[in-house]
Structure 1
């Protein structure tokens, strides 16, 4: 048999300084591959945990074999490791496998079966493996779900729908928040306009009041007549007709649909007309 007929893993075993360590390294990489794609963080973690291994070759070829899920290579690694490690000697290796399996905080279904396989391979009974798993993770080693049960798929579908409802609820909350912010900004703007309108009305009222207090009676009468569009000497009847005509034209209710600013301006004009009318009816 020529060397060209050997598989990549067989070649690694032939070059290895310690075949059991090379086999253990592939099985640990297999655990990593069952968690998902192996990136730089996973490579670094595996190198850290296996720094004391005596295989003497690069890590990259092992990771490439594990990523392809080469079952022939995994079976060969299991046979090699089984010859060297068994029973109580298996605990250090199983601790490493457990640590890599739950590195991201969860245990995949695939690695549940992988860990059971490795424990059985090395002669560690379930009753002995469970406390070992709990010592490493602080959690109980639960039995894996059985995909052959209808309840497994029902629970899976329930979780999927629950995630969709949660996502829809979050999106609705986001839309509600945006709408509430828009309404608040609009309401704040309207309040600001309303305050400005009231402020202008108060300024006009104070100016009119000061003018009334400081003006002579004759001057006030002339100004009141001018507001109603009348000449000096107008009769009470002319004052009433002028008031009714102007009141109909400038009453704020006529500007209800034109916005608050227009209504405020109409209200100011109407108040001046009303005060002028009241004053002239008193002195006429």
Structure 2
């Protein structure tokens, strides 16, 4: 008969004095590791908490599994916790998870999703969890910005346009100052050369650089050929939106969510442009 092979976390559960405590430690380590790394301060926080857990094994394997973002082990730990801990019994554990999530002062979007997942897993209602969070963190548990909302990207676009406007204003001011310095020479050159320089400056200011072929760029983003139908555009958008939606990457850290959000925005803009143009 083939020999059964156990994963590292399954072996820890087999050796554990209390499987729910071992599962809880892994989930708490997951909260810490969701930042993308485990610092020495994070390890010390987890070590301090582990003294009150009845696990009976070394803590380092738990930290290694969490650092690897082993979703299979995390899912198994969640199932063990769900069986043995729920409702008000889960409140102490959730308080510990909240404490670790806000230890650095900022609640990341990954932490937000993980805390909501743990509360739902353990049967704690959103209002009750929000109260627990306020008690522990001293502030409200607010929803993070949702990259799938149109308003999220409209705010991003307004911010980008404001930055570009400030840059243009700064450039115009710099151009004027440069022109004034060049025109401070001889009187004849000031009158004869400044007019041409000013005309050049006005022409330069009013002429926008020739735009690229936006349709070609939008088609390339969606992986389509020229002449694609509206149906082709919709199908390509749905496929790519599902593949690159930021919610798929929350467990991989905030940097991955931000990167996915940028890709998702490009896909969405390309789709909207092609649908309007077709």
TM-score (norm 2): 0.55
Equivalent pair of 1:27/1:77 in contact (CA under 8 Å): yes
SS at 1:5 equivalent: coil
State the 1:75 CA deviation.
0.6
| In structure 2, distance between residues paired with 1:163 and 1:103 | 33
- C-alpha separation in 2, matches of 1:161 and 1:104: 32
Q: Distance in 1 between matches of 2:34 and 2:134?
A: 20
Matched residues in 2 for 1:123 and 1:8: separation? 28
Alignment of 1:68-147 (within 5 A): 68-147=68-147
The alpha carbon displacement at 1:135 in A equals: 0.2
Distance across 1 between alignment mates of 2:164 and 2:49: 39
- Normalising by structure 1, we get a TM-score of 0.54
Structure having the higher helix fraction is: 1
User: Aligned partners of 1:2 and 1:103: how far apart in 2?
Assistant: 46
Report the aligned-residue RMSD. Answer: 2.5
- Take 1:43 and 1:164, find their aligned partners in 2: how far apart are those partners? 43
Tell me, yes or no, if the aligned pair for 1:113 and 1:144 is still in contact at 8 Å. Answer: no
Segment of structure 1 superposing worse, 42-51 or 153-162? 153-162
Any idea what the Cα deviations from partners look like across 1:151-191, whole Å, max 9, x if unmatched? 324545667899999xxxxxxxxxxxxxxxxxxxxxxxxxx
Post-superposition, which runs of at least 4 consecutive aligned residues in structure 1 deviate over 6 A?
Answer: 157-165
Q: CA deviation at 1:74?
A: 0.5
| Change over 3 Å in CA distance of 1:4–1:113 after alignment to 2 | same
8 Å CA contact 1:29–1:66 kept in 2: the answer is yes
Alpha-carbon distance change, 68 to 115 in structure 1, aligned in 2, over 3 angstroms:
same
Larger radius of gyration: 1
Q: 1:14 corresponds to which residue?
A: 14
CA–CA distance in structure 2, aligned partners of residues 133 and 61 of structure 1: 29
In 1, Cα distance between the equivalents of 2:164 and 2:37?
26
* Bigger RCO of structures 1 and 2 (CA < 8 A, at least 6 apart): 2
How many angstroms does 1:46 deviate by? 1.0
| Number of residue equivalences | 166
Question: 3-state SS of the aligned residue for 2:81?
Answer: helix
> What is the rounded CA distance, in whole Å, between the counterparts of 1:89 and 1:8 in structure 2?
28
Structure 2: segments with no counterpart, 5+ residues: 166-278
